[in-house]
Structure 1
Amino acid sequence: MSMSTQWKHLRSYICISLTLLIATCNRVTPQSPTVSATAHTSLCSYTVVVNEFDVSKCPTFNDHAQSDWVEHQSRQTDSRDHKDQSPEFQKANAQFVPGDSKFGTKSSRSRGSSEDVVNTSSLIKDMEAKLLEEMLRNRELNATLTRHEILLNSAEKTLEAYKANFSSVFRTMMMMERKLQHQRKINKSLNKKLSNVLLDVVEVNNVLTNKLPTGDAKKTVKKYAVESSTDMRSCPGITDSSQKFKDCTEVYDAGHHTSDIYFIKPLYSGCPIPVWCDMDTPKGGWLVIQRRRDGSVNFTQSWDKYRSGFGDVSGEHWLGNDNIFLLTNQDRYQLRVDLWDFAGNRVYAVYSSFKIDGERDGYKLHITGYSGSAQDSLHKHNGKKFSTMDKDNDARRDASCAQEWEAGWWFDNCWFALLNGPYQNRSDVTWRGLAWNHWKREQLKATEMKIRPLQDDSHQED
């Protein structure tokens, strides 16, 4: 084997020794061809196994480390040359011929190692520069990320603070809204109570001045019987040029502020009819459709009588279902019910919507929107048809409420309010004819039912 080949194998041995050390640490098993050589001494036998690898894959060393190793090898070689060697070792050593040895000479090894060290050192420097640059870049990125993290944490804290503030503001707004709603309810209730108090003051004054403030027959020179506009064939004494009013509110608006009998003409009637206009009750212009006060008129009447009306307009009377139908369907009307007991107490109930259907539908009652001081007894009769002793339209199957109570009324089964029954001149009676159960369960002394347009609320109290 030539010296160059020996040096090549020796250089590979040096490289592979290190490579095997690295491979062992990284658990790498080289799969390359091997070359072996055996040397014998007096005591031992040495076998060197060399795996051949590409030199570019060998680990690199710095200059001073490689030089020290070469010098160390040189010193070891020189030391071995000057020592006494055994015959066996000298024989084995004599086999190596210069230029044809497996391991080469010391000078050739030095030249190859120097070139490798220079290349390796250059690669290491390049790698160090790249690593340093990468480290600086990573430091900058880490610093940037740290700043961003700080900003994000600050923004998150700010958002949490805003969220807490918004929640607090929202709760405050909701609490204020609830308080405002509660205050509106209180104000509405107070306004209604104040209005009722003002009305009651005026009515108490009327009671103190005159027990029954309207409809005094002694103040009227003439008495007018109730007339049905549908039954009149002509209008005596009425000309086309005569001034016509559709209800008592128009009479009041025309400047007539005295309670008295006036002729009014509903929009769908043929002739004017006499009615009592109550100008004293607050707002004025109330048209009376029913009055009970002394029992002078019998209210146990037939269907036809209740349809046409009966009694004296200035005293006790029923205006007639046909007239009430025409009046309450020409506009939106409200109903007021005034009640007196035998002790002189007076209460009232106002319904913001009131009308009745025609005869074909049994003069069905439509009433809503209670307010006042009498409590609401009439709403139980809402949607009920009118019944008389000779025409039963009530909800009772086994008997007739009209026959049992001797009255014409909007019976259910049978009643909570009854204003057209037989008159009793005292309160402590069992068989009541005038009653309003939600106020008192006793006979009442007097009642009035009166209507007025709902939309016209501009009148002030006199």
Structure 2
Amino acid sequence: MKLFAYGWIAFCIKLVLTQRCRQVCDDNDVNFNDGQKGMKGNVGNPGKAGSPGIKGSKGDEGMIGERGPPGQSCALGSFGTDIIKEVNELKEFIGPSACHMSQVNGEQLLRSGEKVYCEDGWTVFQRRFDGSVDFHLNWKDYKLGFGKLGGEFWFGLERVYQLTRWGNCRLEIDLWDFSNNFLVASYSSFAIESEDNLFTLRVGGYSGNATDILVPSGGGEHNNQPFTTPDRDNDNWSGNCAKDNYGRAGGWWFNECQSAQLNAQWGRDTPYFHWAGDSKMRSTMKFRCE
């Protein structure tokens, strides 16, 4: 009986003390700084990552930087850069409407602002058919050109040089006699040199039904000859083939003097405008570069 009474008394004392401790904690009566600070516990395991936040809006686009200077060609250095520059200048001169890229016959405007006369993809540089234009002219005229593209004309040696200087060009000469018989002389290679080299003619690879009288192997004498006009004698004759031979002869690639001369005086009764000694009524000289 006493043991039971002691247990009951102990229980009551424990209950009272417990209630008192709770009251003291609630009333902040205990000063926890009075005791000695305990040791820091171990870091707990990290929690799971939270869900991703909402994506922010895109910032404003930055300003475009200044364009840097062009670099040199990595393969050829400054020499390669010069070549690229010249090629670009040539493309600018020819433009996208050059004859070899056009299916239109007649006048075509180059990007450079100059006009050419196109015929079935060829660039015409000489055209004669009625004698309305006098071809007995001087060096400057043959260099720069004369006549009108829609009629009789000479396109100009300087222009032809610029348009054929990169090579891979062909020449075709179309001829009609006074009975309207058609002849053609074609050459697979064609170019003329610069004015410093007197616009010397370079042709080769003949085909056609007109006699080959430009290349010596074909009986001709005009290939590799410089150009001669009445005021600039560059031929191999003692006189001037453009002035003293056959009257009003025009400029041409004379030797001593000619087997052909398509810029001489026009007319049925004259042998001046001729090919292989035969008078012609019409002629067209044209080139095409691939």
Q: Please classify the TM superposition score into its range, dividing by the shorter chain length.
A: 0.5 to 0.7
Determine if contact 1:248/1:264 at 8 Å carries over to the other structure. Answer: no
- Partner residue of 1:259 out of 105, 122, 131: 105
What residue in structure 2 maps to residue 353 of structure 1? Answer: 189
Show the counterpart of 2:143: 307
- Alpha-carbon separation, structure 2, partners of 1:415 and 1:393: 13
Q: Is the 8 A contact 1:339 1:347 kept in 2?
A: yes
Which of 434, 440, 444 is 2:273 aligned to? 434
Q: Tell me, in whole angstroms, the C-alpha distance in 2 between the residues paired with 1:377 and 1:302.
A: 24
Distance in structure 1 (CA, Å) of the matches to 2:183 and 2:213: 13
Q: Structure 2: any 5+ residue segments left out of the alignment?
A: 1-91, 216-220
What's the secondary structure of 1:378's corresponding residue? Answer: coil
Distance 1:329 1:246, change over 3 A: farther
| Contact 1:409–1:420 (8 Å) recurs in 2 | yes
Give the TM-score, by structure 2 length: 0.63
Counterpart of 1:244 (choices 95, 99, 102) is 95
Report if the CA contact (8 A) 2:173-2:284 is conserved.
Answer: yes
Q: Which residue of 2 aligns with 1:368?
A: 204
Counterpart in 1 of 2:262?
419
The answer to whether the aligner puts 1:326 opposite 2:177 as a matched pair is no
- Report the Cα distance in structure 1 between the residues aligned to 2:96 and 2:156, rounded to whole angstroms: 19
Q: What is aligned with 2:224?
A: 383
Tell me which residue corresponds to 1:337: 173
**In structure 2, C-alpha distance between the alignment counterparts of 1:433 and 1:314, rounded to whole Å:** 24
Q: Is the 1:333–1:355 contact (alpha carbons within 8 Å) kept by the matching residues of 2? A: yes
Q: How many residues align?
A: 191
Q: Is the 8 A contact 1:324 1:356 kept in 2?
A: yes
Structure 2 residue aligned with 1:444, among 277, 280, 289?
280
Distance 1:307 1:273 in 2: 15
Rg comparison, structure with higher value:
1
Identity %: 37
Partner-residue secondary structure (3-state), 2:109: strand
Query: Contact conserved, 1:290 with 1:319, CA < 8 A, in 2?
Result: yes
Deviations 1:298-357 (A, max 9, x none): 000011000100001111000001001101113411000000001010010100110011
C-alpha displacement at 1:246, in angstroms? 6.9
Residue correspondence of structure 1 range 217-228 to structure 2 within 5 A: none
Aligned ranges for residues 87-126 of structure 1 at < 5 Å? none
Letter of the structure 2 residue corresponding to residue 362 of structure 1 = L
Contact in 2 for aligned 1:290/1:317 (Cα 8 Å): yes
Indicate conservation of the 8 Å contact 2:167/2:191, yes or no. Answer: no
Unaligned runs of 5+ in 1: 1-240, 266-270, 280-284, 457-462
Q: Is the 8 A contact 1:387 1:411 kept in 2?
A: yes
**Alpha-carbon distance in 1 for matches of 2:278, 2:100:** 34
Corresponding residue to 1:291 among 127, 152, 155? 127
Contact 1:245 1:263 in 2 (8 A): no
1:402 aligned partner: 242
**Whole-Å Cα distance in 1 between the matches of residues 195 and 151 of structure 2?**
26
Change in 2 beyond 3 A, CA 1:329/1:432: same
How far 1:417 sits from its partner (Å)?
A: 0.9
Amino acid at match of 1:418: Q
Q: CA deviation at 1:432?
A: 1.7
Structure (1/2) with the larger helix percentage:
1
1:397-450 per-position Cα deviation (integer Å, ceiling 9, x unaligned) = 2x11110242100000000111000111x2xx3x4221111xxx3311000001
d(CA) in 2 for partners of 1:388 and 1:322?
15
Contact 1:325-1:363 at 8 Å conserved across structures: yes
User: Alpha carbons of 1:450 and 1:291: their partners in 2 closer, same or farther (altered >3 Å)?
Assistant: same
- CA displacement at 1:388 relative to structure 2: 0.3
Q: Distance in 1 between matches of 2:197 and 2:257?
A: 19
Q: Which moved more, 1:412-421 or 1:328-337?
A: 328-337
